[in-house]
Amino acid sequence: MAAVNFAIIGYGGMGSYHEKNLMFSEKEKINLVGVYDILEERQEVARAKGLSTYESFEEVLADERIEAVLIAVPNDLHKSMSIAALKAGKHVVCEKPATLNTEEFDEILAVAADTGNRFIVHQNRRWDPDFLIVRDLYQSQPIGSVFQIESRVNGANGIPGDWRHLKKHGGGMLLDWGIHLLDQMLWLVDSPIKDVQVDFSYVLGDEVDDGFISFITFENGIKAIVEVGTTNYVKLPRWYVKATEGTARIDDWDLSGEMVRAVQTSNEIMPQPIQAGVGLTKTMAPPSEDATETLSLPKASAEYDSFYSNVYHVIRDDATPIVKNTEVRNVLQLIEQMFEQEE
Ligand code: NAD
């Protein structure tokens, strides 16, 4: 079957990233016909790369060759542009956050249902190798049953760009990075949420959050800490996972880290007391070498289709989307709940 003809709307940081992926990774399935950006300078960058550009969004929508658009504009524009594209008979792949709240999201889904066109959200971090390792730990249980997961991203560069600093554009780090980490966590644990507590940070003095720390309890008993920081000059690990027989740590996207499993209980092999500050401790001493073994982290592998290939199969063969709209909505609902705690 023929590749799906796409146009990219918004040729900024992410629009150009999509262009590279669409053009080089799934060429047989996705065909990039052209791009449109409201800024002439971005149109020029696109043309300099040999891409066709459109003069307006309306011109894209009127082009009968275009079957689908990829929306990569600031967050507050996702709803109106997605709805316009769906009504014009196009399928839509939309950047995260799909919308600023569940009400807007439901409006898009209603139009998608009316028109019969597909709406798919780019929650790409379900394919991140570090996440895939945690998913493997969770499912295959090499260190036992996971009961606590800490997921963090720490930066020291503040909030990037212009529109991300403003509420009216859907700025702030919960909607920017938080949505990725929450999407991963909810997809992984796959249990309703019993409780969430959040604390936002405003270290930089912007009107939007520059980070947050949240504590989530799932109904299946699993507890999660999800944290985003943009003023962290010293990083904490990307992941810290506690399970019934061991602990795993993944430091960063380079996948460095370790996984340590208990082979004997501490009652059988007592650790040696150590000097701790001005005191002595056995409780906090490292376990004796006989009591634990250090294992390599599992290899990361996605046992599911790539994002763009799945998009192709959803459009051409009515396949099930890997990123389901019910899941996207659950994450948006959680985000709403978190923002409500701020008020
Ligand atoms: P950006 O500011 O770099 O790019 C946005 C582009 O949209 C700009 O070039 C701007 O001129 C253009 N634009 C603005 N209004 C427009 C309009 N009405 N019509 C056409 N073009 C318009 O921002 P970005 O970092 O590329 O973010 C864009 C979207 O991608 C956001 O929703 C963001 O959350 C998302 N994003 C996703 C990821 C990811 O990993 N999935 C990463 C980065 C950004």
Distance 296 CA to ligand 1 centre (A): 38
The mean pLDDT of 145-163, rounded to a whole number, is 97
Record the tokens describing residue 328, joined without a space. Answer: 């996207």
CB of residue 72 inside a 6 A radius of ligand 1: yes
pLDDT of residue 61: 98
Q: For residues 328 and 102, what is the distance between their CA atoms, to the nearest angstrom?
A: 9
Residue of the nearest CA to atom 35 in ligand 1? Answer: 95
Q: For residues 229 and 236, what is the distance between their CA atoms, to the nearest angstrom?
A: 10
Facing residues of 154 across strands? 229
Distance 37 CA to ligand 1 centre (A): 9
pLDDT digits (tens, 9 = 90+) for 183-201: 999 999 999 999 999 999 9
Q: Output Rg (C-alpha) for the chain, integer angstroms.
A: 23
- Predicted confidence (pLDDT) at residue 266 exceeds the cutoff of 60: no
Distance 72 CA to ligand 1 centre (A): 4
CB of residue 130 inside a 6 A radius of ligand 1: no
Top pLDDT among 120 and 20 is at: 120
Top mutation candidate among 22, 37, 179 for ligand 1, by most atoms within 8 Å of CB: 37
- Predicted confidence (pLDDT) at residue 203 exceeds the cutoff of 80: yes
pLDDT of residue 186: 98
Work out the pLDDT band at 142, boundaries 50, 70, 90.
very high
- Predicted confidence (pLDDT) at residue 263 exceeds the cutoff of 70: yes
pLDDT of residue 265: 61
The mean pLDDT of 202-225, rounded to a whole number, is 98
* Cα 283 versus chain centre, distance: 37
- Predicted confidence (pLDDT) at residue 267 exceeds the cutoff of 70: no
pLDDT of residue 95: 98
Predicted TM-score of the model (pTM): 0.97
Work out the pLDDT band at 82, boundaries 50, 70, 90.
very high
Record the tokens describing residue 199, joined without a space. Answer: 């604390």
